[in-house]
Amino acid sequence: MSQNTLPVNDTGRMPPKLIRELLLLKFERLPEKDKKSFANGPVFLGVSGACVGLFANTLYRQVLNVTQGLITSSLPMAVLPFLTTVALYNGAVSQPLLAGELNCPTCALIRGGLVSALAGGFYPVLLALPVSAGLATRYNTAPMPERGNVLRFWINITQPILNRMGIVFLMQAIFGLYMGSKHYGIYIKMLELPTSNSEELND
């Protein structure tokens, strides 16, 4: 049996619970830097998403001339993208890898890039719109659209901001692709580890 494959029973399959337990044991035997990289990667993506949220919030506040409620608007714009990005990356990349369910390097890259671009890029921008719009309405800092022109008004407000955020979306996607690639490489390292200490001694 090669070291980069998981042992199987007579039916050719292993119970998912056993696969996860085996991979977790191998994970604990990885070098400390690899374990930290795997554990902290989603957090780094989350922090990046939080920064995007704060930046998008700033842009909307400037366009709508909002100067009030800086802390109350910044807090959700940092916390929600952070939590969403971390949760989605763990659910789409980290946990499937640790469960042995993600054995496609291209899939890991695509998942990482999509999570980072959507949850850490587009989502904060979309979230900033109602937050800033609510403050602008409350404090009457900008003329609000008449009924029937609401959608066009907010599209006109958002379009220039999306254009300015284009490079940010690209950077988020690249960051996610890099993280997915790095974590898949760590996953391959886990598979290459012997399944037991006795096997390691025999080698």
Structural domain boundaries of the chain? Answer: 32-192
Q: What band does 146 get if pLDDT is binned at 50, 70 and 90?
A: confident
- In whole numbers, what is the pLDDT of the chain averaged over residues? 88
d(CA 177, CA 197): 34
Query: What share of the chain has pLDDT > 90, as a percent?
Result: 73
d(CA 184, CA 72): 38
Entry pTM: 0.86
Task: Pick the closest to residue 141 from 56, 68, 72, 73 (CA basis).
Answer: 68
Task: Pick the closest to residue 98 from 18, 20, 44 (CA basis).
Answer: 20
Concatenating the DSSP letter of every residue in the chain gives --TTS----TTS---HHHHHHHHHHHHHTS-HHHHHHHHHHHHHHHHHHHHHHHHHHHHHHHHTT--S-HHHHHHHHHHHHHHHHHHHHIIIIIHHHHTT----HHHHHHHHHHHHHIIIIIHHHHHHHHHHHHHHHHHT-SPPPPTT-HHHHHHHHHHHHHHHTHHHHHHHHHHHHHHHHHHHHHHHHHHHS-SSHHHHHH-
Q: What angle do CA 152, 154, 71 make, to 5 degrees?
A: 170
Q: Give residue 2's pLDDT.
A: 44
How many Å is the Cα radius of gyration of the chain?
22
Which of 23-27, 117-121, 149-153, 164-168 is least confident?
149-153
Query: What share of the chain has pLDDT > 70, as a percent?
Result: 89
Q: Does the pLDDT value for residue 33 go beyond 50?
A: yes
d(CA 92, CA 79): 20
Distance between first and last Cα of the chain: 13
d(CA 65, CA 25): 55
Q: What band does 196 get if pLDDT is binned at 50, 70 and 90?
A: low
Contact (Cβ atoms closer than 8 angstroms) between residue 54 and residue 77: yes
d(CA 124, CA 51): 9
